[in-house]
C-alpha cells in the first residue's frame, strides 16, 4: 500500500479515535466541579484541547496526503533525471527504541535536574535524533520553550513543577 494511502487511513483513524475520546471518554472519565470559573483550570480543558489539536492535525494529514496522491498520479515533468538516493532503513528501526530509552531517562532526570534542564536536554536530543541540524533555530527553541512553559505552569497556572537542584 502506498505511503499516501497509509497516511490517509492514519489521519482518518486518529480523527475518529480522538473524536471518541473527546466526546465520550473525557466527559465520562473526568469529574468537573461546578465551581470552577476559569475554563483553562478545568480538569477536562487540556485533555480536550489536546484531542481537538490531534483531530485538526489529522485532517491536515488527510488533506496533504490526498493532495500528494493526486500529484503523484499526474507528476510534473522533471528537467533532469537523477537516480533516487538510497535510504538506509536500519537506523529507522532503532529510533523508536532510542526515543523510549530517552523518555525513561527524562522521567528519572526530572527530580534531580528539574523540569527545565531535563526538558532542554530532551528537546535538543529528540530534535537531533530526527534530523534537525539548523542549530541557529534549535538551540534557542530548546532553551526558551521549556523555560516559557515552566513559568507559565508554575506562575500563571500555579502548578508546582520540579525545579531541580540548580534552581531550588
Burial of 161 from C-beta contacts in 10 A (0-12 / 13-18 / 19+): middle
d(CA 48, CA 14): 14
d(CA 36, CA 41): 7
pLDDT in tens, 42-82: 899 999 999 999 999 999 999 998 888 887 777 666 555 56
Note the pTM of the prediction, 2 decimals: 0.52
- Predicted pLDDT of residue 20: 96
pLDDT in tens, 92-141: 678 888 889 999 999 999 889 989 999 999 999 999 988 888 899 999 99
Angle value at C-alpha 146, between 141 and 150, nearest 5 degrees: 150
* Sequence-ordered alpha helix ranges (H) in the chain: 3-20, 26-29, 45-73, 90-129, 135-151, 164-167
Amino acid at each position: 500500500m502506498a505511503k499516501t494511502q497509509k497516511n490517509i487511513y492514519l489521519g482518518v483513524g486518529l480523527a475518529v479515535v480522538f473524536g471518541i475520546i473527546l466526546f465520550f471518554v473525557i466527559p465520562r472519565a473526568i469529574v468537573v466541579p461546578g465551581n470552577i470559573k476559569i475554563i483553562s483550570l478545568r480538569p477536562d480543558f487540556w485533555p480536550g484541547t489536546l484531542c481537538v489539536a490531534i483531530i485538526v492535525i489529522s485532517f491536515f494529514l488527510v488533506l496533504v496526503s490526498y493532495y500528494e496522491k493526486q500529484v503523484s498520479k499526474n507528476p510534473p515533468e522533471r528537467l533532469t533525471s537523477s537516480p533516487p538516493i538510497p535510504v538506509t532503513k536500519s537506523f529507522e528501526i532503532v529510533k523508536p527504541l532510542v526515543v523510549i530509552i530517552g523518555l525513561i531517562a527524562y522521567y528519572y532526570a526530572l527530580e534531580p535536574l528539574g523540569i527545565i534542564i531535563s526538558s532542554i536536554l530532551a528537546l535538543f536530543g529528540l530534535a537531533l535524533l530526527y534530523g534537525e541540524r539548523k542549530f541557529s533555530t534549535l538551540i534557542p527553541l530548546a532553551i526558551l520553550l521549556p523555560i516559557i512553559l515552566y513559568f507559565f505552569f508554575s506562575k500563571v497556572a500555579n502548578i508546582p513543577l520540579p525545579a531541580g537542584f540548580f534552581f531550588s
